[in-house]
Amino acid sequence: MPKKHVNGKAARPPAERDSKVCPVCGLPFAWRRKWERDWDTVVYCSERCRQAGTGQRPTQ
């Protein structure tokens, strides 16, 4: 089966995509197209982990 092209680039199958490990939950997460331009700066897998990792102020 031929590969699909995305923005003129050959798309990689999910098994070949880059992945990182979230420092908060410890789970691996894979590259997403919406992170294409910012993949080097993506650290957390989700907004929830990002907020937990930046030290939320406790509610009173």
pLDDT digits (tens, 9 = 90+) for 10-30: 677 767 778 899 999 999 998
Name the pTM for this structure. Answer: 0.63
Q: Are 9 and 31 in contact (CB under 8 A)?
A: no
Distance CA 27, CA 24 (A): 8
Distance CA 27, CA 21 (A): 6
Listed in sequence order, the residues at least 6 apart from 16 whose beta carbon sits closer than 8 Å to its beta carbon are none
Whole-number average pLDDT of the chain: 79
Name residue 28's amino acid. P
pLDDT band at 35; cut points 50, 70, 90: confident
pLDDT at residue 50, as a whole number: 92
pLDDT at residue 56, as a whole number: 52
